[in-house]
Structure 1
Amino acid sequence: MLPLSLLYFLAAAAASDVRHTQVVILGGGISGISLARTLTAHNITDFVLLEARDELGGRAHTATLRGSAGDVVVEKGCNWIQGPGKEPIVALAKKWGLKTTPTNYSSAVWFEGLGVEADGERGRFLAPEETDAFMLDYDDFIENAPGYSEWRSNNSLVDVSVRVATSIMDWMPVTPLQRAYEYWNIDYTFAQSPEESSFANAFAQEAGIANERDDFVVDPRGFKYIFVQEAREMFGQKLTDERLRLNTTVHTIDYSALGNGRDTGGKDKDKGKGKGGDKDGRREEHKREDKTAGTTKPDRPEILVHTDKGTFAAPHVVSTFSVGVLQHQDVKWVPRLPDWKKEAIFTFAMATYQKIFFLFEKQFWGDSEFIMYSDPDERGRYMVWQNINAPGYFPPGANNVLMVTATGAFGRRNEQMSDEEIVEEALVVLREMYGDVPAPLDALVPRWTLDPLFRGSYSNWPLGALDQHHSNLGQPLGGAQSWLHFSGEATSADSFGYVQGAWDQGIRTAEAIVACFAGDCPDATVYEAVTTCEQDETTMSRRSVRGAGGRKRGGAPRRHAILPQKQKEKKN
Structure 2
Amino acid sequence: MEIKDSISDHFLDGTSAPRSKKKHSSSPTVIVIGGGISGIAAARILHNASFKVILLESRDRIGGRIHTDYSFGCPVDMGASWLHGVCNANPLAPLIRCLGLSLYRTSGDNSVLYDHDLESYSLFDMDGRRVPQQMVIEVGEAFGRILKETEKVRDEHTNDMSIIQAISIVLDRHPELRQEGIAQEVLQWYICRMEAWFAADADMISLKSWDQEHVLSGGHGLMVEGYYPLIKALAEDIDIRLNHRVAKIFNGCNKVMVKLEDGNHFVADAAIITVPLGVLKANLIEFEPKLPEWKNTAISDIGVGNENKIALRFDNVFWPNVELLGIVGPTSYACGYFLNLHKATGHPVLVYMVAGRFAYDYEKLSDEAAANLVMLQLKKMFPDATEPVQYLVSRWGTDPNSLGCYSYDVVGKSEDLYDRLRAPLGNLFFGGEAVSLEHQGSVHGAYSAGVMAAENCKRHLTERVGGLEKIQLLSFKGEALDATVPLQISRM
The question of 1:164 aligning with 2:117 is answered no
Q: 1:362 to 1:468 in 2, by over 3 A?
A: same
Q: Give runs of aligned pairs for residues 235-246 of structure 1, distance below 5 A.
A: 235=238, 243-246=239-242
Alignment partner, residue 198 of structure 1: 206
Partners of 2:217 and 2:313 in 1: how far apart?
A: 32
Separation in 1 of the partners of 2:416 and 2:57? 30
What residue in structure 1 maps to residue 43 of structure 2? 36
In structure 2, distance between residues paired with 1:473 and 1:346:
10
| AA in 2 matched with 1:349 | G
Q: Structure 2 CA distance, aligned partners of 1:421 and 1:498? A: 30
1:341–1:472 CA contact under 8 A, matched in 2: yes
Residue 197 (structure 1) shift: 1.0
Q: Pick from 407, 413, 429 the counterpart of residue 459 of structure 1.
A: 407
Match for residue 346 of structure 1? 300
Question: Residues 492-523 of structure 1, C-alpha deviation per residue, up to 9 Å, x if partnerless?
Answer: 131000111111111111111122123279xx
Q: Is the 8 A contact 1:21 1:312 kept in 2?
A: no
1:510 matched to 2:458? The reply is no
The CA distance in 1 between the partners of 2:368 and 2:159, in whole Å, is: 46
What amino acid is the match of 2:125? G
For residue 342 of structure 2, what is the amino acid of its counterpart?
N
Q: Of residues 344, 348, 351 in structure 2, which corresponds to 1:400?
A: 348
Q: Once the 2 structures are TM-superposed, how far is the Cα of residue 410 of structure 1 from its aligned partner?
A: 0.5
What is the distance in 2 between the residues matched to 1:349 and 1:173? 31
Matched, 1:248 2:244: yes
Q: Secondary structure at the match of 2:272?
A: strand
Matches within 5 A, 1:111-150: 111-114=123-126, 122-143=127-148, 148=152
| Contact in 1 for aligned 2:161/2:208 (Cα 8 Å) | yes
One-letter amino acid of the structure 2 residue matched with residue 250 of structure 1: V
Per the alignment, residue 119 of structure 2 pairs with 107
Q: Indicate which of 358, 368, 373 corresponds to 1:410.
A: 358
Cα distance in 1 for partners of 2:160, 2:450 equals 29
The answer to whether the 8 A contact 1:166-1:172 is kept is: no
Confirm whether residue 64 of structure 1 aligns to residue 64 of structure 2. no
CA contact (8 A) 1:109 1:125 kept: no
Measured against aligned partners, the alpha-carbon deviations of 1:524-547 in whole angstroms (never above 9, x if no partner) come to xxxxxxxxxxxxxxxxxxxxxxxx
Q: Which residue of 2 aligns with 1:428?
A: 376
| 3-state SS in 1 of match to 2:166 | helix
Q: In structure 2, what is the Cα distance between the partners aligned to 1:161 and 1:493?
A: 23
Q: Is the 8 A contact 2:360 2:397 kept in 1?
A: yes
Map 1:226-375; keep pairs closer than 5 Å: 226-232=230-236, 234-235=237-238, 243-255=239-251, 257-258=252-253, 300-308=254-262, 310-375=264-329
CA distance in structure 1 between the aligned counterparts of 2:275 and 2:215, rounded to whole angstroms: 28
- Equivalents in 2 of 1:45, 1:473: separation in Å? 25
- In structure 2, relative to structure 1, the CA distance for the partners of 1:303 and 1:425 (3 Å cut) is same
Mapped contact 1:65–1:443 kept (Cα < 8 A): no
Say whether the 8 Å CA contact 2:124–2:131 is kept in structure 1.
yes
Q: Which amino acid aligns with 1:179?
A: Q
Deviations 1:103-138 (A, max 9, x none): 142234444424xxxxxxx44212222224422221
Which segment is superposed worse, 54-63 or 454-463?
54-63
What does residue 223 of structure 2 align with?
217
What residue is the counterpart of 1:448 in the other structure? 396
Q: What are the equivalent positions in structure 2 for 1:419-568 lying under 5 Å apart?
A: 419-478=367-426, 483-519=427-463
Secondary structure of the 1:204 match is coil
Partner of 2:342: 389
Q: 1:466 to 1:484 in 2, by over 3 A?
A: same
User: What is the count of residue pairs matched by the alignment?
Assistant: 426
Q: For the residues of structure 2 that align with 1:159 and 1:363, how far apart are their CA atoms?
A: 47
Name the amino acid aligned to 2:44: R
Identity %: 26
User: In the alignment, is the contact (CA less than 8 A) between 1:248 and 1:309 conserved in 2?
Assistant: no
| Deviation sequence 1:399-421 (CA, Å, 0-9, x none) | 31111110010001101110111
Secondary structure in structure 2 of the residue aligned to 1:60: coil
Q: Any unmatched runs of 5+ in structure 1?
A: 1-6, 115-121, 236-242, 259-299, 522-572
User: For the residues of structure 1 that align with 2:281 and 2:40, how far apart are their CA atoms?
Assistant: 23
Go from structure 1 to structure 2 and tell me whether the alpha carbon gap of 1:335 and 1:370 turns closer, same or farther (over 3 Å shift). Answer: same
SS of 1:251's partner is: strand
Change (3 A) 1:306 1:456: same
Counterpart amino acid of 2:135?
E
Q: Which amino acid aligns with 1:485?
A: F
Deviation at 1:253, TM superposition (A): 1.4
CA displacement, residues 162-217 of structure 1 (integer Å, 9 cap, x when unaligned): 12332344466762221112212x1121111221112232x2124x7596411101
Determine which structure has more spread, i.e. the larger CA radius of gyration. Answer: 1
Is this contact kept in 2: 1:65–1:444, CA < 8 A? Answer: no
Distance of 2:86 and 2:319 partners within structure 1: 33
**Which deviations, in whole Å up to 9, do the C-alpha atoms of 1:235-260 show, x marking residues without a partner?**
3xxxxxxx3322212122123x35xx
SS at match of 1:103: strand
Tell me the CA shift for residue 336 of structure 1: 3.1
Equivalent pair of 2:33/2:57 in contact (CA under 8 Å): yes
Unmatched segments (≥5 aa) in structure 2:
1-5, 11-15, 18-26, 108-116, 172-176, 466-492
Distance 1:422 1:159 in 2: 36
Task: Give the AA of the match of 2:192.
Answer: Y
Q: Give the whole-Å Cα distance in 1 for the aligned partners of 2:385 and 2:35.
A: 41
Residues 490 and 225 of structure 1: is their aligned pair in 2 closer, same or farther, counting only changes over 3 Å? same
In structure 2, the CA distance between the partners of 1:45 and 1:355, relative to structure 1 (3 Å rule), is same
Deviation at 1:311, TM superposition (A): 0.7
Secondary structure of the structure 2 residue equivalent to 1:403 = strand
Distance 2:333 2:102 in 1: 30
| Pairwise CA distance, 1:369 | 0.8
How far 1:160 sits from its partner (Å)? 2.7
TM-score by length of 1: 0.69
Question: Using a 3 Å threshold, how does the CA distance of structure 1 residues 337 and 211 change in structure 2: closer, same or farther?
Answer: closer
Cα distance in 1 for residues equivalent to 2:94 and 2:29? 30
Select 2:99's aligned residue among 75, 96, 101. Answer: 96
Whichever residue aligns with residue 251 of structure 1, its letter is A
Aligned position for 1:181 = 190
